Each structure stands twice: as structure tokens, then as C-alpha cells.
Structure 1
Amino acid sequence: MLNATSGVAQSYPDYFIPQHLRPADPQMAAMGLTGVAHRTGVLAAYSNPAGISDVKDLQFAYTRHHPILQYFTTDEYYTGQHTFSLAVPVTKFFTIGAYYWNLGFGEVEILKINGYGGKKTKIGIREYLLTPAFLLALDSTTNLHIGANVKNLKYYGLNDADSWLYDLGFRINHELSTQVLSFGATIHNLGSKLKVEGSTREYEMYRWYKVGFAFGNTNAKSSKNKKITYLWTVEYQKNLNQKNLNMDENRISTGYEKLEALNTGFELRLFQHLFGQIGYVNDVSGSKNHLEYQGFTYGFGFETPEPLGEKIPVTLSAMYGRSIQLGTLDVNIFSAGLGFHF
């Protein structure tokens, strides 16, 4: 068990890491941390909120990051992260999503001034998220998707803090004869600064910008009965303000303040049910980060694109994704999903 004087407060990873680099979406992790131009379904909100506008059924998903033992203690002090996600198609053109995720850091012991009589408290980061998304048909072959995330972020335990934040995103899908070409862009973490409870301290959040395109026949109408389909994507990402946003000005830099990357991902599907994915995260900032941000990613899974049957109007999915190591945080993600067709 740790005490409050051991520096655990300085060991918080930035909110930026669990939300954008350690995402609650195995497919995003597996395809080089991309998704702004191609991700659909209930988990799309983590890469581009506009992506959930394609949801046709009520969808629920649970995501789990494998917990790991932290390096600064010999006790069981884990960083497990779990997420609950729900998407509801209100109309053919409007979908709303609701999400909750929690990144736990276990328990610490807060000692009194004399070093005795301490109490234990759980510490971590949690977020509540609401996502409205709209689908607009521009013509018979082109659709415009628009979405937003409204997020309430909370640090709890030590250095309690909270903030209201917003993400905005759009995507344009244009269907060619047998392929779909997509372009998307998002900006993350607009809104208020992170306010520390019981203090006048406020910290600006990372403004994270992403733009990308995707090409393939996986989502083409003409590919519904194809045995093999594919999807390829390229995505540019950049931290716009490039400031040190740690909870304490005396902390060591996380190394992600000047993050700039050009990532790519590829997916191959068999019979529209089984899929494998690979990607590459490529740091193009030109700076030597405190934590390395580059390497290969991969994942696999299955999903039923249609309900199992008239008497069983449900869809199933399960995915696994592994991305690059983020310091002591292992990006090792599993999700299970369930959809209900009405």
C-alpha cells in the first residue's frame, strides 16, 4: 500500500493518454490508433462521434483493458480500465450514445501529518459521455455524418478535479461502383479547463486534432455477399496547443505534449464475419519524446452483420486489439458487444 507522500499523485497519466492513446476500442487500437474516417458502430464515438450515426440496432458493448502491475510499488496496484457503451438509433437519421469509462489506479493510504492513522482511498480517472450523431444523405451515393461528444471528466481520490469537454466530428462517405471513399475529421477536448477541487489551480486540456481518409469495399452495398473485403486508412493526428498539462508543474513530462503522428491501418474480412487488422503508429513530430510513440499494432475478431434469425433478433461481436506500449500502460484491449434488432 502506498502513502500520499510517495509521489503517487505525480504518477497520474494525463487524461489524454487513456482517452486518445489507450482507447476503449480494440479496432481503433489494432489499426494504428485510427478511426476518424472509417470506424462505425457503438464504439466509434472514441475515434469520431459522427461514426455512431450508422448504427441500425440498439447496441451495447463492454470493453476491458488488461490491468498491469505498476513499477513504483511492490503491492497490487493495477491500472485496469473498463468501459460501458450504449448506442440507440432514435430515427433513421439520428442516433444517441451514452458511455462511461473508468481507469483505476487501485488504493493509496493518506497519512496524517504525524504519519499515523491514515485512511485508504481509491484513485483514478472516470468519464461520463453523451454522443448525438446525425446522418444526412447528400445524394444517392454520398452521405454526411455529423456528431459531438459531451464529456464530464473527473479525477478522483488524490487531487480531485473535473472538467466539461466537447468533441466535434464529421465524415463524408462517397460510394463508387464497388468501393467506398471516406474522409473524416475531429477536434477533441474543447471546453473548460481542468479545475482542481479546493484550489485555484486550473489546467488546460490537450486539443487533439485528427484528419484522415479510408478506402475499401467492406462498407460498400455491393460487397454484402463477397467472401473477402478490405479497408485501408491513413490518419494524421496532432496536439494543437503542445503544452505540458500535467496535474503538477513539478512533474516529469509525459512526452506527449508535442505529439504529431501519421498512422495507417488495414483490415481484411472473411464472409463479413471474421476479420484481422494491422496498423502502424508513426511519430512525425521530430522531437524525442519521453515515452516512445511508434510501432506496429494488430487485432482480430468477429461480428454478425445481420441478426442471428427471426426468432433471435440479436447481433454479436467480440474483438481484440493490441497497440503500442505507453510507458507503463499496456494497450491490450478486449471488447464484447450485443445488438438488438427491432
Structure 2
Amino acid sequence: MAVLTSNKVKVNDPTQGKTQDGSPIFNTASLFIAGKITDKTGGFVQITYNNYNSQDAETGNWSGHTGSDNLDLRYADHLINDNQDLIYGLTLHNNPGVQDVWNSTPAWGYGVVPGSTGAGDGVTPILDGGLGQQVAGIGAYAYWNKMVYAELTGYRTGDGIFSFMTQGNGGQVNIQGTNPYARLALTHEWGPHNVMVGLTHLDVRPYSDTTSHSGPTDHYRDNGIDFQYQYLLDPYTVTATVTRIHENIDYGLGAPSDTVNSLRAKTSFIYQAKYGATLSYFNLTNTLGAESKGWTPEVFWTPVQNVRLGMQYTKFSVDTAAINPKASDNNTLFFYVWGAY
């Protein structure tokens, strides 16, 4: 996947990205590798190149960098007889939610195009990508009779023998001990229809000084509820998702506690597995006064089975968390290309 972006954001802080004036720039590119390893093991690996990763303080020149992105390695088995249908297994991954099979979790919902994550900068819950490519998670899951899915995963800092999962990302976030993640989902199928209602809980303690392995910790408690509906019958595919996350934060260095609320909704329509459109809505707020709200329409075309061309536009109605005080100055247009082999 390659991404070309254009927006009007004027940025002077190198940590916030390249200064942009409405002209197109090549932003990111990702390589995805996935498939079977053995009869019961497989994997999914994403490697991403950021064309504007860092800026030289003296010359102002930008340099690109390649680093680990989403990764999920897993073991799976299937027990089936006249009375039950049970899928179970183990997963090793580096982003809470990337192991999930539904489009309503943050890892697979809004912003799956690399670089298109501007909505909610500074006010997103930690479950919404805050630990992505920074941690190692080991978990067990089971899916019973195509009705009940349950998972329990523990996350720790992605260093030591797990450093390959965070390689090249810099600014390692260190978390204390093993931090629990729980997922429960109920599903039901009838004809071409499928519906899912899920609950998610993440309890994590990153060190207040995220570069340290000791000292005070912040305490994040995220509780989410999500919904997905799908209609799958040629020539149409319809998917609708809604995700609500409530986060409580207690800071270890004495800063005021905070509460973050995130609401995301998305509907997609695909015709003949070739033409598609989506519309996303986001509304993120916290008790300290930050707010980000807007819409992201997207259209895409799959001329052949292994190539997709797409365009998405993020329009902010409110964005107090961004650098530019005028929300519309943060509007962003993305062009992307997907290829598969």
C-alpha cells in the first residue's frame, strides 16, 4: 500500500509531521505479508515506511524510516461434531485489537490506511492505537458454536526477545508488568446477515516517564462496547459498525485525573466486489476540554482482484486538540493504492 496525502496543515514542530500547504506529498507505504506457516499456525505482518519520520534541526531536511507495524502470529485449531463447533487458539501480537476479526475494533475501524489517523490527535483513548507497535501481547481465545467469542490477553513492554515486534519505531513506551485485556462478543447469523455485539476491557499502567522502566505509573482503564452488522450476498456487501470507548486516567505524577470518551461509526457499501464507498463519523472528547469531531467519506475501486485505488477525505467540524485552531485547516485528503500478490 502507498499513500499520497494533501492538506492545509502548517506545522513547525517536527514531531507533528511535515509542513503542508495543500500540495500533494508521498506520505507512507506498507508491505503486508500473511499466510499459513503450518497446518495450525499462521501469521500477519505489516512493515511501514514513513517518508517524513524525522527532521534535521539544522538543515530542516526530512528523512524516511522503516519500522515494524501491525503483527499477529497465531496457533488455531478446530473441534467440530454433532453437538458443538469450537475454534480455539493462541495469539502473539503487538497492538491491542489487531488480533480481532471484526471491523469495529479500533485497529480495523477508522484510519486503517497508514497515516490517515489525524482524527482525535491528543484525545484518543489508549485502546485506540496508543500501544500499537509498542507492546507484546500473548493471549488465548475461543469461539463457540459461531455464537460466543472470548479472549484474554496480557501485554508487556515490547523489548528483549519481543523487540522484533517494535523494531524501528523509536520512543519505546514502557509499561509496568503484565497488563490485562479481555474481549467478549456475541454473534448471530441468519441467511446473508450477521450481527455482533462486543465488550472490551483494557487495564494498563505505562510509566509516567515512558522511557523509564521504573518510577510512578499512569493508570488507564478502558471499557468499550461495539456493534457490527454485515450483509454478504453477491453482488452487494454492506458493513455497519459503531464503537464507544470510555477511558479513566489517573496520572502518577499528580496531574488531574482525566476521562476520555470516543464514539466512532462507519458504514461501507461494496458492489460486485469492485466499487465501494464508506462514510465514517468520529466524536472524541476529554474532561480537560479537548474535542475532535468530524466525518470521513471514502470511495474506492478494485479494477482487478489484487489492486485497489482509493481516496478519503477527513473533514473536521471541531478539532481543539490539533495545532491549528481553525478546524478546517486540519482537513486532509488521502489517495492510496493497495496491491496484493
The TM-score, its normalising length taken from structure 1, stands at 0.52
Structure 2 runs not aligned, ≥5 long? 95-132, 135-165, 324-329
Query: How many Å separate the matches in 1 of 2:211 and 2:236?
Result: 54
Distance 1:265 1:196, change over 3 A: closer
Choose from 171, 177, 189 the match for 2:191.
Answer: 177
Say if 2:246 and 2:261, in contact at 8 Å, map to a contact too.
yes
Residue 149 (structure 1) aligned to one of 65, 89, 93: 93
Any residues of structure 2 matched to 1:123-162 within 5 Å, and which? 128-129=68-69, 130-133=71-74, 149-150=93-94, 151-152=133-134, 161-162=171-172
Kindly indicate which of the two structures has a greater share of residues assigned to strand.
Answer: 2
CA shift, 1:278, in A, is 1.0
Cα separation, 2, equivalents of 1:66 and 1:231: 28
Give the drift of 1:96: 1.8
Contact 2:229–2:241 (8 Å) recurs in 1: yes
Cα deviation for residue 214 of structure 1 reads: 0.7
Aligned to 1:107: 55
Note the C-alpha offset of 1:179: 0.6
CA-CA distance at 1:337 after TM superposition:
1.9
Cα deviation digits, residues 81-118 of structure 1 (max 9, x gap): 52524131125764422234448465253xxxxxxxx6
Change (3 A) 1:104 1:269: same
Pick one of 2, 9, 30 that aligns with 1:84.
Answer: 30
Aligned to 1:296: 295
Aligned amino acid, residue 309 of structure 2: A
Cα pair distance change 1:179/1:147, threshold 3 Å: farther
Extract unaligned runs of 5+ from structure 1: 1-60, 110-117, 309-313
SS at match of 2:172: strand
CA distance in 1, matches of 2:211, 2:64: 15
1:259 pairs with 2:260: yes
Q: Which residue of 2 aligns with 1:317?
A: 308
Residues 297, 199 of structure 1: CA spacing in aligned structure 2 closer, same or farther, 3 A cutoff?
same
Q: Deviations over 1:31-52 (max 9, x none)?
A: xxxxxxxxxxxxxxxxxxxxxx
Q: Secondary structure at 1:323's aligned position in 2?
A: strand
C-alpha contact (below 8 Å) 1:234/1:263 kept by paired residues: yes
> For each residue in 1:58-94, what CA deviation from the matched residue of structure 2 results, as whole angstroms up to 9, or x when unmatched?
xxx3445546543448xx9437752524131125764
* Paired residue secondary structure (1:241): strand
TM-score using structure 2 length:
0.52
Q: How many residues align?
A: 244
CA distance in 1, matches of 2:215, 2:62: 22
* In 2, Cα distance between equivalents of 1:62 and 1:240: 36
More helix by share: 1
User: Which one has more relative contact order, counting CA pairs under 8 Å at least 6 apart?
Assistant: 1
Counterpart position of 1:98: 45
Report the alpha carbon displacement of residue 319 of structure 1 after superposing the two structures with TM. 2.8
Q: 1:237 to 1:333 in 2, by over 3 A?
A: farther
Specify the SS of the correspondent of 2:32: strand
Q: Give 1:276 deviation, angstroms.
A: 0.7
How far does the alpha carbon of each residue in 1:223-243 deviate from its partner, in whole angstroms, 9 at most, with x for none?
A: 1xx233312111112334265
Compared CA separation, residues 199 and 143, structure 1 to 2 (3 A): closer
Task: State the secondary structure of the residue aligned to 2:292.
Answer: coil
Cα deviation for residue 217 of structure 1 reads 1.0
